Amino acid sequence: MGIEKHLQELLPREALSTSPEDRAAYRVQNPLVAEGPAPTMVVRPKGVADLQQVIRLANQERHNLTVCSSKGAHGKGGLAASQEHVMIDLSDWKAIPWINRRNRVCLISPGVTYGELLAALKPHGLTASIPLAPRRDKSVLAAVMDWEPSTWPNKQWDIGDPVCSTEFVFGHGELFRTGAAGGPGTLEQQRAAGGAQKCPTGPSQADFHRVVQGSQGTMGVVSWITLRTEVLPTVQKTFLLGAKRLEKLIPYVYEVQRPWLGEHSFIMNRTALAMLMLGQSGTSFDEICRGLPAYSCLQNIAGFDRLPQERVAYQTRDIGRIAADSQLSLHESLGAVGAADVLAAATSPTADGDWRHRWRGQCLSIFFQTTLDRTPRFIRLLPQIFKDCGVAEAPVGLYIQPLVQNHFCHMELLFPYDPGDGLAVKDMQTLEREAVAQLMAAGAFFSRPYGAASQDIFKRNPMHYTVLKKIKTIFDPGRVLNRGKWGL
């Protein structure tokens, strides 16, 4: 009969949609991402039992499934499918059934957004580390399961943070729980015994959440996670440090991050910072740029429940001394941009979509991981990249985010362009292919492969790809979860 007919018999009418408008909403809104087919049907399961039935039915019918948990425009291409598929939409799963202040952990469903999470945590005196200015409709679960970098580096002990335990459904329909949630007993029994489902490792010595995290929906469908939260600051002082050259800021960041001084911290060049702050006031892009140095580092200092003023005072002295040793100064503003305003913009969901698109309507974003001391070498490649692909040089945004206490960093290159200009779109496609190839050859590690990187990354490590295919066979033997992605 086909999977659509079976789904109509299996689930209530309101859980299914075949309208062209609804199906078109799941296309990737990015002219640089290859256009795949729209889903033949959208399924909105009401609970985990329904989700398992849908996955088991897909195995019976040998049909392809994709999954999403964010609403709004989808830009990177994580849910794009190369084959006919049914879309599982979990964005209406909004529950936050458990928040534990003592252990600083909470349990969230896939559809919870950052605005909803922060609002729920605040009465408990808690907050969460979040990506740089996430869009309002972005799912927290989708972001953290995709290793989206957080702006709070010294709260990360592992690349998997802040994810703790997870519950997910294998590709063959079986339910599985990772970490401390794996047992023994139910979640309620574990909590009654003092457990908090905060440890991510397990059951036993395995670390199964790492197989699902970063897999872009190809290994399992996550139904909930427990998430590390942080104590809400009671006092904050925020500064900006400016420099003409990136190399000037690097020793400062190492010296501050090594002893865990300060809180939120990241580096942006003039173009990226102006893109972030555009729309925060009536100031134009050029006016924002005019007063900014070539590179700026945000440095937040915070006090919490215990002796907050004293904590801020001694850290301000220590960080000021480190800045002076690097021949830098702490400023409350640079030009027309205030440090407190940058922090507020960075740690709040945006109401107008992705901040990267504010200036020219769209932005090619190429991101990878490296170590902070190696970042200048990639910047020096840019003139040659423009020359080799025959594209005229243009302003490039730079965002560098220290991760895991600055053991390494997220480096993101931003190329703004007009999506209505066909020539500009073609130039960006050419530029992306050339840039990814040269960056990869120079040592860039694309841990979250999208676009051109997703096509090239596995060619450089055939053994890794062989292992990945074996893992796919174990977790999704029927190849029903986004079949064809990465050639799996």
Instruction: Indicate the residue among 180, 211, 231 that finishes a domain.
Output: 231
Q: How many domains does the chain have?
A: 4
pLDDT in tens, 162-177: 999 999 999 999 999 9
| Residue 18 forms part of a structural domain | yes
Domain shared by 286 and 342, yes or no: yes
Instruction: Spell out the residues 6+ positions from residue 479 whose beta carbon is closer than 8 angstroms to its own.
Output: 171, 472, 488
Domain shared by 253 and 336, yes or no: yes
What tokens does 219 get? 């290994």
Respond yes or no on whether the N-terminal peptide bond of residue 162 is cis (omega within 30° of 0): yes
Domain shared by 362 and 323, yes or no: no
Domain shared by 53 and 133, yes or no: no
Q: Residue 196 sits in a domain of what CATH number?
A: 3.30.465.10
User: Domain limits at 329?
Assistant: 235-346
What tokens does 296 get? 């700026």
| Residue 127 forms part of a structural domain | yes
Domain shared by 209 and 247, yes or no: no
Specify the length of the chain in residues.
Answer: 488
What is the C-alpha to C-alpha distance for residues 366 and 351, in angstroms, rounded to an integer?
23
Q: Residue 283 sits in a domain of what CATH number?
A: 3.30.70.3450
| Residue 472 forms part of a structural domain | no
Instruction: Indicate the residue among 346, 364, 390 that finishes a domain.
Output: 346
Q: Residue 364 sits in a domain of what CATH number?
A: 3.30.70.380
Name the DSSP letter for residue 18. Answer: -
What is the C-alpha to C-alpha distance for residues 158 and 405, in angstroms, rounded to an integer?
9
- The string of DSSP codes covering 360-402 is TSEEEEEEEEE-GGGHHHHHHTHHHHHHHHT------EEEEEE
For residue 165, the SS3 value is: strand
| Residue 395 forms part of a structural domain | yes
Instruction: Indicate the residue among 231, 258, 275 that finishes a domain.
Output: 231
Domain shared by 287 and 370, yes or no: no
Quote the pLDDT of residue 456: 85
Of 29-33, 145-149, 150-154, the poorest mean pLDDT is in 29-33
How are beta strands 86-89 and 65-68 bridged, if at all? parallel
CB contact at 8 A, 428 and 285:
no
Q: Residue 28 sits in a domain of what CATH number?
A: 3.30.43.10
What is the C-alpha to C-alpha distance for residues 131 and 392, in angstroms, rounded to an integer?
31
pLDDT in tens, 21-70: 999 999 888 899 877 888 999 999 999 999 999 999 999 999 999 999 99
Average pLDDT over residues 225-240: 98
Average pLDDT over residues 114-142: 97
pLDDT bin (cut points 50, 70, 90) of residue 215 is very high
Domain shared by 337 and 387, yes or no: no
pLDDT in tens, 252-268: 999 999 999 999 999 99
CA 213 to chain centre: 11
Domain shared by 336 and 384, yes or no: no
Q: At residue 476, does pLDDT exceed 90? A: yes
**Cα within 13 Å of Cα(269), Cβ side:** 18
pTM assigned to the model: 0.95
CB atoms within 10 A of CB 441: 10
Domain shared by 63 and 175, yes or no: no
Domain shared by 84 and 69, yes or no: yes
125, 165, 266, 367: CA torsion to nearest 10: -150
Domain shared by 104 and 215, yes or no: yes
Give percent above pLDDT 90 in the chain: 85
